[in-house]
Amino acid sequence: MTMIQCVSPVDGSVYAERPALSPGDAEAAVLRARRAQKSWARRPLEERVALVLAGVARLNAMAGDVVTELAWQMGRPVKYGGEFKGFNERSNYMAAIAGEALAPLVVERSAGFERYIAREPQGVVLVIAPWNYPYMTAINAVAPALIAGNAVVLKHASQTLLAGERLVRAFNEAGVPEDVFINAFLDHDTASRLIGEGQFDFVNFTGSVAGGRAIERAAAGTFTGIGLELGGKDPGYVMEDADLDAAVDTLMDGATFNSGQCCCGIERIYVHESLYDAFVEKSLAWVSNHRLGNPLDPQTTLGPMAHKRFARIVREQIAEAVAKGARTLVDGALFPQDDGGAYLAPQILVEVDHSMKIMTEETFGPAVGIMKVQGDAEALALMNDSRYGLTASLWTRDAERAARLGRELETGTVFMNRADYLDPALCWTGVKETGRGGSLSVIGFHNLTRPKSYHLRKAG
Burial class (CB in 10 A: 0-12, 13-18, 19+), 426: middle
β-pair partners for 395: 238
Distance (Å, whole) CA 287 – CA 301: 11
Angle at 131 between CA 66 and CA 141, to 5 degrees: 85
Q: Which of 6, 69, 83, 229 is catalytic?
A: 229
Strand pairing partners for 153? 126, 182
Q: What is the DSSP string of 65-105?
A: HHHHHHHHHH---GGG-TTHHHHHHHHHHHHHHHHHHTS-E
Nearest to 205 by CA among 127, 141, 282, 288: 127
Judge contact between 383 and 373, C-beta under 8 A. no
Is 427 in the active site?
Answer: no
CA separation for the pair 251, 107 (Å, rounded): 46
The one-character DSSP state at 302 is B
Residue of 263, 264, 362, 433 marked catalytic: 263
69 is catalytic: no
Q: Decide: 412 and 434 in contact? Cβ < 8 Å.
A: yes
Active site residues: 229, 263
